[in-house]
Amino acid sequence: MSSPAQRRTTIKDVAELAGVGVATVSRVLSGGSASAETRERVLDAATKLDYRPSALGRNLRQQRSGGIALLVPDITDNFYARLADGVLSCARSYREPVTIGVTGDDPEQEADLVGALLEQSMDRVIAVPSGDGEMWAPALRAGLSVVFADRRVWRDPVPGQQRVLDEVPAVLADDRAGVRTAVEYLTGLGHRKIGFLARHGQTQRTRAFRTAMGELLDEELVVPARASRDSAYAAASGLFQRRPDITAVLTGDNMLGEAAVLAARELDVRIPRDLSLVMFDDVPWAELCAPPLTVVAQPAQDIGYRAAELVMRQGRRPKTVMLPTQLIVRGSCGPRR
């Protein structure tokens, strides 16, 4: 009787044996920078496991598996669900399948997924990146065709690789204009103590908020949250309790907006009498709130559709496609009392 086929060694197996991350293995085997000790450990592990890094892309374009990979932080989030719908709509017109991976905005989980895509010789990826650029530059050198959607990679832990990352095409909403319009609206209502709740990866929105606030900026009112509902609620509740003088808040996305509404309700903070609220993302429940929420609407489906068009395009592609946002005024904002 023949023995069962032995499982093929993967890049994750090499990472575990070497005691490093998948991104580090990818970087070393694709010729990227690493310390001599780390490089020796990775190469030694690859030799012991008889790992053959063909999936790192030496022949990716000749061995393309077809289809598009889409990496998003949370497929249950309304914004990312609509973005995915845009990708799927475009992919159908090309008769290309789409594989969806969820990163949880976790760089390690994102690195695992990128490594798996390289293993499968899939060469077209649309990603909402976590913000950590460590694994992306080696993956690009390995032949991965990448388009960033909604945000870019902002943190470059490997000196000299930011230029490579900057060349990746991106489809973005105009965060700066959206934040500026929201801040101008709130200050026009007389608000000066304005808070900002930002989730991991929302670097551009946070920068835009600081710029728009100018001399009115109070750094204590800029509060970060991790990519979970519990963290979002804790950030909103902590802000409202710590700074009862706050009169308005802008949230970086709909999860943070939901957390702000719940925290205000729990703390008996009345919207808009005690606190004006503007939320990034126009989601169906925003109109159902009492009062309905003022939002900065983003074209999520268009972002996904345009990103899919770019990743399918051969030859020269635009560096950045910037899509407009829109301030939709409802009942959650009022004049400062």
C-alpha 276/C-alpha 153 separation (Å) is 32
SS3 3: coil
The pLDDT of residue 99: 92
The pLDDT of residue 62: 46
Strands 294-297 and 145-149: what pairing? Answer: unpaired
Q: What is the pLDDT of residues 61-119, one digit of tens each?
A: 445 556 899 999 999 999 999 999 999 999 998 889 999 999 988 888 888 888 888 77
Q: Is pLDDT larger for residue 188 or for residue 7?
A: 188
Domain end point (choices 139, 168, 197): 168
Q: What is the pLDDT of residues 46-73, one digit of tens each?
A: 888 877 654 444 444 445 556 899 999 9
Q: Is pLDDT larger for residue 122 or for residue 33?
A: 122
The reply to whether 126 and 182 lie within a common domain is no
Using alpha carbons only, how large is the chain's radius of gyration in Å? 22
The reply to whether 51 and 124 lie within a common domain is yes
**Mean per-residue pLDDT, 147-156:** 80
Residue of 237, 236, 250 lying closest to 293 (CA atoms)? 250
φ, ψ (nearest 5 deg) of residue 141: -65, -30
Q: Is pLDDT larger for residue 284 or for residue 134?
A: 284
SS3 277: strand
> What DSSP assignment string belongs to 141-205?
HTT-EEEEES----B--STT-HHHHHTS-EEEE-HHHHHHHHHHHHHHTT--SEEEEEETT-HHH
Identify whether 138 is preceded by a cis peptide bond (ω within 30 of 0).
Answer: no
The pLDDT of residue 59: 41
The pLDDT of residue 315: 65
Q: Is pLDDT larger for residue 62 or for residue 209?
A: 209
The pLDDT of residue 268: 95
Residue 333 lies in a domain: no
C-alpha 296/C-alpha 263 separation (Å) is 21
SS3 103: coil
The reply to whether 236 and 135 lie within a common domain is no
High-pLDDT (> 70) share of the chain, %: 86
For tokens 């580090």, the residue is: 24
The reply to whether 146 and 200 lie within a common domain is no
Residue 197 lies in a domain: yes
The reply to whether 237 and 133 lie within a common domain is no
Report which residue type is found at 313.
R
The reply to whether 36 and 161 lie within a common domain is yes
The reply to whether 162 and 15 lie within a common domain is yes
Q: How many domains does the chain have?
A: 2
The reply to whether 147 and 81 lie within a common domain is yes
The reply to whether 25 and 162 lie within a common domain is yes
Domain end point (choices 168, 183, 198): 168
CATH of the domain at 97: 3.40.50.2300
C-alpha 267/C-alpha 122 separation (Å) is 49
For tokens 């700074």, the residue is: 243
SS3 328: strand
C-alpha 149/C-alpha 244 separation (Å) is 36
| Residues 6 or more apart whose Cβ sits within 8 Å of residue 189 | 248, 276, 333, 334, 335, 336
C-alpha 261/C-alpha 264 separation (Å) is 5
pLDDT band at 162 (very low <50, low <70, confident <90, very high): low
| Separation of CA 221 from chain center | 23
| Assigned token pair, 169 | 């095409």
The pLDDT of residue 53: 55
The pLDDT of residue 55: 43
6-20, 63-77, 259-273, 307-321: the lowest-pLDDT one? 6-20
| Assigned token pair, 45 | 């592990």
- Show the domain range for 126: 11-168
CB 114 within 8 A of CB 22: yes
C-alpha 143/C-alpha 124 separation (Å) is 9
The pLDDT of residue 10: 76
Rounded to two decimals, what is the model's pTM?
0.78
C-alpha 334/C-alpha 337 separation (Å) is 9
The reply to whether 18 and 156 lie within a common domain is yes
Q: What is the pLDDT of residues 245-292, one digit of tens each?
A: 999 999 999 999 999 999 999 999 999 999 999 999 999 999 999 999
The reply to whether 57 and 103 lie within a common domain is yes
The reply to whether 38 and 148 lie within a common domain is yes
Report which residue type is found at 245.
D
Residue 334 lies in a domain: no
Hey, how many other C-beta atoms are within 10 angstroms of the C-beta on 216?
13
